[in-house]
Structure 1
Amino acid sequence: MWHTQAWLLIIVLSICGIISAEHAEILKFENEKLDSDGYAFSFETSDGISRHETAKLQHAGTPQEAISVQGSVNWVGPDGVQYKLNYLADENGFQPQGEHLPRMR
């Protein structure tokens, strides 16, 4: 589970690095606790970044206990292109999907 969380942190920090040279305002922020086993949050900024994520504890109390996180993040890159990354992180690892990502053959 640590590896999944580490990859998510790397992605978030990378995206934050993309906008660090600009000043952006938070236009919308929502954070919600879902039961005792999950959460949901989303935000949007004035420079076109948005992120939506939900998480749920799976197989609670068993050796297979894991957090399943699903979400998406959108941003405008330095090249002016709008990017979207969808992701799932669970017991099977981090699974990103996006048109800009290289495809495995």
Structure 2
Amino acid sequence: MKLAIIVLCLVALVAAAPQRRGNYYSDYSTVQVLRYFNENSGVGSYSFGFEQSDGNKRQEQGELRNEGREDQYLAVKGSYSWVSPDGIVYTVTYVADDKGYQPEVEQGPGEVPAALAATLLGAG
């Protein structure tokens, strides 16, 4: 009887262990940074980016436009992507400037869920 209880406990532990499906990590402690850069001139321009072992990526560049004028603004462009639990890669490419935030959502095979699209586009 004791052996059966021990076996059942071991089976329960294995079943409860974090699972990795495709390129998606449910245990973030195993995610590694594969690439990282960060450049900042200190006078109005910057760029940074990273790539992780779980498929997440981000890069961004920004520059000050019309410096010293009343219509001065920071123009930013970049992208970020991630792998969903079902293995679909989502990528958002964006520009943020004097015309506002302008994202474009791309994905691998399948359809972008409406709630996700609304959130990414600022409507949700």
Asked if TM exceeds 0.5, the reply is yes
1:65 to 60, 67, 72: 72
2:102 alignment counterpart: 95
Q: CA shift at 1:50, angstroms?
A: 0.7
TM-score normalised by the chain length of structure 1 = 0.71
1:22 alignment counterpart: 28
Letter in 2 for 1:22: Y
1:48 alignment counterpart: 55
The 1:57/1:79 distance shift into structure 2, 3 A limit, reads same
Gaps of 5+ in 2: 1-24, 107-111
What percentage of residue pairs aligned between the two structures are identical?
A: 36
Query: Larger radius of gyration, structure 1 or 2?
Result: 2
Q: Where has structure 1 moved over 3 Å in runs of 4 or more?
A: 100-103
TM-score normalised by the chain length of structure 2 = 0.61
Higher relative contact order (CA 8 A, sep 6+): 1
Letter in 2 for 1:30: F
Gaps of 5+ in 1: 1-18
Residue-pair matches, total: 85
1:77 alignment counterpart: 84
